[in-house]
């Protein structure tokens, strides 16, 4: 099967003797295109699913590429499927990279399974540009909308161009990648695994919208489900923007400075003005320098550090406090105006790859997938810039740090022209799943606030919200033994925490504590678990990798 994994396939199903049977068995074998630490066992397989679930007479199919991490403790108690968000995140590589942590958090007795969702990876990737020049021209407009007073008009026009190009060139693909179709894919996989046919699922960020959708569509087939870093699906489908997402963003931004002055020995920024500097002064100084960069960006070798660039670095850091010491060191140099030192670390500041075309393509693929999936299934459209301005104003009023990040997406979606074949239009209230859902929300999450976890949980009968008292996006950003014990117990025996349970973080801000430390503690004297914990690169998986230039969740 030459180049089997490298091109997406829309293969007509071979129909035996005219009968309409769907080959559902998955043949597991080695993975050719996935990188691991070489200690995590992984296997890969393909599953054929209908390309268009709304057309029962069609025999066209799509191949889902699956990755499986077999349970550390055999025999396996079944499979848990994962989605890492975006929308637009690939899933197989993310699962391989986070498997050591996820095995611990699931208790080690389940197989972990993921496929790259429609629109991403090799699974009918959504892409509207015909050449690099078109792609770079789109990239160059990815400034934050408050970067200058001309940006909003440019975003509106650019959104119209993208909506037009995608409609002309990718309308067929764009109609086939909706969340409702991915929800059906999840159920096909659950069936093909030949277990009990029920879905066990853990979704992060947008993966919670996918989870809420599949649960609302197939409530009686949900065995266990964790929705972690919860997005408000009402807004995802029906609002001009995901306003609620940014409820706590400014609090997380402020905590960067509060944590810094509380641990001055680990934070360069706290030492720059003698020991008397307050968190509020530091934060104000950063706002001042950010706004100054609008008119006087810095030339750092071959890299320009401007308002959008520095704000993009900061908004990336909101995902996880593990990056705050590094961010504080960079901000310290920026406040000092130390151009030579900044130039020496320009490749780090720029994400290491901002000038690498392949890395840019990867970021743009994620952004295109995000637009293709999210814009298509939003129900709101606008005819003029004036019509979306109230949404922009509301974003600005919701968060100073994140408010001007997503208007470009809001505008593109408002002008979108591709209709999905299926859009989930049902309710998220009164959902009675077969087994109760466990929701997880961090006390301070800059992308998916705790209030959204309570919002969705209120519509899911028997569900419980676990609060994790820490900063960052979803539970993986907050190493916590209590979280580990709670999630492992849920997967092992279905037990839910009491309502109102709060798990404390085991990672003080500006410390070096990682999940590896937590897992070692949980393992006690268990040698196998300890070696599992030691081997992994246990830094927090960055659920926001695609946010390269700030435009993202």
Residues that bind ligand NAG (CB under 6 A): 12-15, 37-38, 59, 146, 232, 234-235, 244, 266, 273, 277, 281-282, 285, 291, 294, 396, 400, 403-404, 455, 458, 489, 492-493, 495, 511-512
User: What is the rounded distance in angstroms from the CA atom of residue 437 to the CA atom of residue 463?
Assistant: 5
Contact 411, 380 (CB under 8 A): no
Name the residue nearer to ligand NAG (CB basis): 137 or 512: 512
3-state secondary structure 262-294: HCHHHCHHHHEEEECCCHHHHHHHHHHHHHHHH
Judged by beta carbon, residue 42 or residue 91, the one nearer ligand NAG is 42
CA distance 502 to 468: 6
Q: Report in angstroms how near the CB of residue 168 gets to ligand NAG at its nearest.
A: 26
CB of residue 37 to ligand NAG, shortest distance in Å: 5
Query: Strands 43-50 and 61-69, how do they pair?
Result: antiparallel
Q: Taking the complex as a whole, how short is the minimal distance between the CB of residue 136 and ligand NAG, in angstroms?
A: 26
Q: Least separation, in Å, of the C-beta of 180 and ligand NAG?
A: 19
Shortest separation between residue 167's beta carbon and ligand NAG, angstroms = 26
Q: Which is nearer to ligand NAG, 163 or 552 (CB)?
A: 552
369 close to 86: Cβ distance less than 8 angstroms? yes
* CB-side neighbour CA atoms (13 Å) of 146: 20
HSE (CB half, 13 Å, CA atoms) of 205? 26
Full DSSP string of 179-245: HHHHHHHHHHHHHHTTSSS-EEEEEETHHHHHHHHHHHHSGGGEEEEEEES---HHHHHHSSS-GGG
Closer Cβ to ligand NAG, 161 or 239, answer by number: 239
The residue (of 305 and 369) whose beta carbon lies closer to ligand NAG is: 305
Closest CB to ligand NAG among residues 277, 316: 277
Four-CA torsion 260, 262, 267, 271, nearest 10 degrees? 100
Cβ-based neighbour number of residue 19 at 10 Å: 6
CB of 449 to ligand NAG, least distance (A): 12
Instruction: Give the residue with the Cβ less far from ligand NAG, 160 or 297.
Output: 297
144 is written with which tokens?
């934050």
Alpha-carbon distance of 108 to 74, in angstroms, equals 9
Give the tokens for residue 312. Answer: 């993009």
In the complex, least distance from residue 60 CB atom to ligand NAG, rounded to whole angstroms: 7
Distance CA 412, CA 370 (A): 11
CB of 501 vs ligand NAG, minimal distance in Å: 13
C-alpha distances in Å from residue 163, one per residue of 139, 158, 159, 175, 368: 15, 8, 6, 13, 11
Nearer to ligand NAG, 311 or 473 (CB): 311
Smaller CB distance to ligand NAG: residue 110 or 234?
234
Cβ at position 303, least distance to ligand NAG in Å = 22
């Amino acid at each position: 099967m030459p180049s089997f994994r490298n091109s997406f396939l829309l293969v007509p199903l071979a129909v035996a003797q005219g009968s309409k049977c769907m080959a559902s068995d998955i043949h597991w074998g080695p993975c050719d295109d996935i990188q691991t630490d070489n200690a995590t066992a992984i296997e890969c397989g393909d599953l054929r699913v209908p390309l268009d679930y709304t057309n029962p007479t069609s025999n066209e199919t799509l191949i889902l590429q699956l990755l499986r991490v077999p349970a550390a403790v055999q025999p396996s108690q079944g499979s848990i499927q994962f989605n890492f968000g975006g929308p637009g995140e690939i899933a197989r590589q993310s699962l391989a990279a986070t498997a050591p942590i996820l095995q611990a958090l699931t208790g080690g007795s389940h197989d972990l399974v993921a496929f790259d969702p429609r629109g991403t990876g090799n699974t009918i990737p959504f892409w509207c540009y015909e050449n690099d020049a078109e792609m770079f021209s789109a990239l160059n407009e990815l400034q934050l909308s408050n970067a200058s007073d001309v940006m909003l008009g440019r975003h509106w026009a650019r959104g119209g161009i993208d909506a037009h190009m995608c409609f002309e060139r990718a309308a067929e693909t764009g109609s086939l990648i909706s969340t409702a179709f991915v929800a059906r894919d999840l159920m096909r996989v659950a069936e093909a695994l030949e277990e009990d046919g029920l879905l066990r699922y853990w979704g992060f960020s947008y993966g919670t919208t996918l989870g809420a959708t599949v649960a609302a569509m197939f409530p009686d087939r949900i065995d266990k489900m964790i929705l972690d870093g919860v997005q408000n699906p009402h807004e995802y489908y029906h609002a001009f923007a995901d306003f609620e997402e940014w409820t706590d963003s400014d609090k997380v931004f402020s905590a960067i400075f509060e944590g810094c002055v509380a641990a001055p020995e680990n934070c360069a920024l706290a030492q720059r003005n003698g020991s008397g500097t307050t968190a509020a002064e530091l934060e104000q100084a950063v706002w001042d320098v950010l706004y100054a960069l609008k008119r006087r960006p810095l030339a750092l070798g071959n890299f320009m550090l401007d308002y959008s660039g520095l704000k993009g670095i900061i908004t990336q850091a909101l995902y996880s406090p593990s990056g705050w010491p590094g961010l504080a060191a960079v901000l310290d140099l920026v406040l000092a105006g130390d151009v030579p030192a900044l130039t020496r670390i320009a490749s780090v500041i720029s994400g290491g790859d901002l000038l690498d075309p392949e890395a840019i393509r990867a970021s743009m693929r994620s952004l295109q997938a995000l637009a293709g999936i999210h814009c298509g299934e939003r129900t709101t459209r606008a005819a003029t810039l004036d019509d979306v301005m109230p949404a922009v104003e509301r974003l600005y009023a919701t968060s100073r740090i994140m408010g001007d990040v997503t208007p470009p997406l809001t505008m593109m979606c408002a002008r979108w022209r591709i209709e999905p074949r299926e859009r989930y239009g049902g309710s998220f209230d009164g959902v009675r799943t077969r087994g109760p859902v466990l929701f997880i929300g961090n006390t301070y999450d800059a992308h998916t606030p705790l209030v959204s976890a309570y919002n969705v949980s209120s519509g899911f009968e028997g569900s419980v919200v676990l609060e994790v008292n820490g900063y960052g996006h979803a539970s993986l950003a907050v190493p916590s033994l209590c979280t580990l014990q709670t999630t492992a117990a849920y997967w092992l025996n279905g037990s839910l925490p009491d309502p109102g349970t709060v798990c404390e973080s085991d990672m003080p801000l500006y410390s070096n504590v990682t999940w590896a430390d937590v897992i070692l503690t949980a393992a006690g004297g268990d040698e196998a678990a300890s070696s599992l914990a030691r081997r992994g690169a246990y830094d927090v998986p960055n659920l926001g990798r695609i946010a390269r230039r700030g435009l993202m969740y």
